[in-house]
Amino acid sequence: MSSVNQATRIDEGKLNAFVGQMLGDLGGASSVAMVRMGDALGLYKALHTNGPMTSAELASTAKVDPRYLREWLSNQASSNYLSYDAASAKFALPPEQAMVFAIPDSPVYLMGGFDLMAAMLENQPKVQAAFKSGGGVAWGDQAGCMFCAVARFFRPGYHNNIVSTWLPALGGDVMKKLEAGANVADVGCGHGWSTVLMAKAFPKSRFVGFDFHPGSIADAKAHAETHGASANTRFEVGLAKDYPGKDFDLVTCFDCLHDMGDPAGAAAHIRQSLKDDGTWMICEPIAGDRLEQNLNPVGRLYYAASTMICVPTSLSQEVGTALGAQAGEARLREVILKGGFKSVRRATETPFNMILEARP
């Protein structure tokens, strides 16, 4: 190291610290496959249901090969994903880790995030080519599991916030309208989890979910049927700039405005589709207006997703504004006001989202 230090004046302390960071990053990257197998094989669920088990006990319960399982369990214990008691030779899923790996309705359930990381890696060749061409990668052309991964990733946040926190944070009488019976359009609904959650909470209201991806609309219809929300929901393939309807009391956009090719055009159409006393609720990733405000763990993940998913999707569409997942409130406000809305305010926020309310 001494010759290297003399030539380039490397600070060995900084180098060792950075290598330590890289070991952590590589460990996290290696966890994508390990965690997804644990989920797919029911290993987390078995530990959550049955409590601490030896490797042999878990292998028998989950019906997996004991030798493979021993190696997987060792990795999980060294990752602090599972605990290990040397005296009893038993592995356990602590309650805090269970909220992340084994409880789908938990607000911090992150299995969808691991699926999303795998989809992003699968998407790399297409996005890498787009770096050279400057073109986009259409939503329908991205990695095959991207759509289900995105839906699974966002669902816990929607489940724990839309009805209980986000909708009540809107001004005026939005909640009263929903309880009495409102017309609602969920634009960019994807697999329809947001639409279904609202429809079940407000059975007197009528909900229509629009998305430009036919495959997602098919899944949304299936989700509505499975979860008993078909009576007051319907789903249609439609663009944010030309979906039908002129009398909506509420329009919602969950984590999709920044993906649109022409978000200002979408805002203008949404404005025209609302009643004069209607409301547009926009859920977007949390972000500051300057890069230095987003140099944190949440921003790190969002910038990666923006590079691999959001910007390529927008650039594949008409206009190709490419707001990105870290556009920030000021830029979003500019787009919304350009669409003809008179007021925009931040209604509420979480560590991962900001909820904007726009009114005509």
Q: Look at residue 130 in the predicted model and tell me its pLDDT.
A: 97
Q: Look at residue 8 in the predicted model and tell me its pLDDT.
A: 77
Q: Look at residue 6 in the predicted model and tell me its pLDDT.
A: 53
Query: Is there a contact between 278 and 161 (Cβ–Cβ < 8 Å)?
Result: no
Q: Look at residue 97 in the predicted model and tell me its pLDDT.
A: 98
Tokens at residue 178, please? 């929903």
Three-state SS for 52? coil
Question: How do residues 260-275 score in pLDDT, each as one tens digit?
Answer: 999 999 999 999 999 9
**CATH number for the domain whose boundaries are 111-359:** 3.40.50.150
Distance separating alpha carbons of residues 186 and 235, to the nearest angstrom: 9
DSSP H stretches of helix in the chain: 2-8, 12-40, 43-50, 55-62, 66-78, 95-101, 111-133, 146-161, 174-180, 193-201, 214-226, 263-273, 297-305, 311-315, 329-338
Query: Is there a contact between 130 and 311 (Cβ–Cβ < 8 Å)?
Result: no
Give the number of other CB atoms < 10 A from CB of residue 81: 20
Query: How do the domains of the chain map onto residue ranges?
Result: 2-101, 111-359
Give CA angle at 85 (79, 88), nearest 5°. 145
In CATH terms, the fold of domain 2-101 is Arc Repressor Mutant, subunit A (1.10.10)
Q: Look at residue 176 in the predicted model and tell me its pLDDT.
A: 97
Distance separating alpha carbons of residues 115 and 227, to the nearest angstrom: 23
In one-letter notation, the amino acid at residue 312 is P
Q: Look at residue 1 in the predicted model and tell me its pLDDT.
A: 47
Residues in the chain where the model's pLDDT stays below 50: 1-3
Q: Look at residue 5 in the predicted model and tell me its pLDDT.
A: 52
